[in-house]
Chain A
Amino acid sequence: MITAERKPLEELIEYVRPYDRILLVGCNECVTVCAAGGRKEVGLLASALKMAFAKEGKTIDIKELTLERQCDPEYIEELVPHIEDVDAVMSMACGCGVQEIAKRFKNIPVFPAVNTKFMGASEQQGIWAERCQGCGDCLLGLTGGICPIARCSKHLMNGPCGGSTNGKCEISPDVDCVWQLIWDRLKALGMEDRYEEIIPAKDWRTAGGGGPRKIIREDLAE
């Protein structure tokens, strides 16, 4: 999923300060799962903002709405009946959702309420960790199903570097050395020989080096 974290309230307060009526829009997808911008977080943030302004003696009208998906124009349409009555929109979706709202509504400001972080998986309740950088040319078939691009601090495709200690990365004892994980897995699979095949220098065009990326499925696109 795409993970996110709420921005500091201080920053959000400054975004909405000039306005009286705000539409706070959550998303039912990834940000709900990572507890950053679903219906519940929309309720909490609305309440928090109202209190922060009430403290200053200001009443702010916050309308709460959580869409099925903010990265899809079809669902963004659901905002149309509400948009007339507000001065600004604050989105609790990832950066994709914020931009879809900005694209659809030309005359109304939209602000992000979360910092979009990374594509990750939940390690346990309340902990999410990066797993994929969307490089566009998946290496997992060569590395035992564990990604060195997303999970090695130096993106080493032929690691481990000389800083690997007791299975941990040199940058922090809290970070696994991904090459230790890859090696352990290759061994478990009896695929140790794989390790010595040099993975050649990567073509970063598919990772965004070639400019903004797009997928066109001709059978589906109209």
Chain B
Amino acid sequence: MKTESVLEKVLASGNLAVTSECGPPRGTNAEIIKAKGELLKGKVDAVNVTDNQTAMVRMSSFAANVFLKQAGLNPILQMVTRDRNRLAMQADILGAYAHGINTMLCLSGDHPSFGDHPMAANVHDIDSVQFIQMVKKMRDEGKFQGGADIDNPPKMFIGAAANPFADPFELRVARLAKKVAAGVDFIQTQCIYNLDKFEKWMEGVRARGLHEKCYILAGVTPMKSAGMARYMKNKVPGMDVPDEVVKRMAGVPKEKMADEGIDICVESIQRLKEVEGVAGFHIMAIEWEKKVPEIVERAGLLPRPTVS
């Protein structure tokens, strides 16, 4: 075991892991994050906390992580390279680890032009692959990126994202291989709606044995409405929503759409369970955290295993 991370322990035990996600509030009300935490407690193994998602300012992932940790959850510190240089990133990793946060996700982040501060400087001192290398060096060599020794190095279980649906498709496995070579421990994928394409990607992943070098958590997001399905299909870069999914959502009465979205999500998880190399699920219920327990239960993923 590389770390004390509960997520690592669940994955190492051979159980399918379940993670979910919390968006911190656009303000200082800690009750919001605590309430979201309560909904997820005992239903998932770990909870990602986004870092200024879609380049909109929110309470810091670090602070929200601390609230979740205090409430007895296992938070995952998401961190993007967009907003901080390597000094600030390493400083936050030290601080987070000192607060008992031992799992993190290394991302580049959405471009500032999508958010509410398009005028902000776009830092990107390092990219997500170099970010993984940096956190691994901190953990395994006990050294900062700059080379100096760390007193009591942070032992982070290192995650990253992968999008099997972006272009060029032929690079998608190769890019994962780069993240694996950099030292990533687990991967959470982009939301999967096109299961055929995901399975094709997984074939490539297995062909190179990458699923044995890192844990792959399949990402799913329940749709609330046909409008959301269309929005995801047309407006979200790198998202692949097949027409059948949009049609299925649009084919039910408005008041039934949310249920249909949950059904699709649960069915997807059932099918993905059969895919060799899928080590668990990352359920991103965007501002819909209350539905996560139902999805986890209906997908047959409860109770969550206890690990020590």
Contact = CB atoms under 8 A, between A and B. Distances in A.
A/B contact in complex, CB under 8 angstroms: yes
Interface of A: 153-167, 170-171, 177, 179-180, 183, 195-196, 198-202, 204
Contact of B167 (A153, A158, A167): A167
B194 interface: no
A156 B111 CA distance: 12
B166 A164 contact: yes
Contacts of B182: 198
Interface bracket on B: 35 or more
Given A196-B177, A198-B182, A156 B166 contact: no
7 contacts: A154-B127, A158-B178, A160-B175, A163-B237, A170-B111, A201-B125, A202-B126
Given A155-B122, A157-B127, A158-B128, 5 more contacts: A157-B129, A159-B127, A170-B110, A198-B133, A200-B133
A166 B130 CA distance: 26
Nearest to B118: A171
Given A157-B127, A164-B238, A201-B130, A196 B181 contact: yes
Contact of A166 (B113, B129, B167): B167
Contacts of B175: 158-160
Nearest to B165: A162
B3 interface: no
B39 interface: no
B171 to A, nearest CB: 6
Interface in B259-301: none
A161 B166 contact: yes
Interface of B: 81-82, 86, 108-111, 113-114, 122, 124-130, 133-134, 145, 161-163, 165-168, 170-171, 174-175, 177-178, 181-182, 190, 237-238
Q: Is the interface of A mostly helix, strand, loop or mixed?
A: loop
Contacts of B86: 201
Given A156-B108, A161-B108, A162-B238, A198 B129 contact: yes
Shortest 9 CB-CB distances between A and B: which pairs? A162-B163, A170-B237, A158-B129, A163-B237, A201-B130, A162-B238, A155-B124, A156-B127, A162-B166
B238 A163 contact: yes
Contacts of A161: 108, 128, 163, 166, 238
A66 B133 CA distance: 52
A51 B154 CA distance: 67
A162 B108 CA distance: 10
Contacts of A166: 167
Nearest to A172: B113
Contacts of B161: 162
A129 to B, nearest CB: 17
A183 B168 contact: yes
Nearest to A195: B174
B111 A171 contact: yes
Interface centre among B114, B161, B168, B174 (most CB of A within 10 A): B168
A154 B130 contact: no
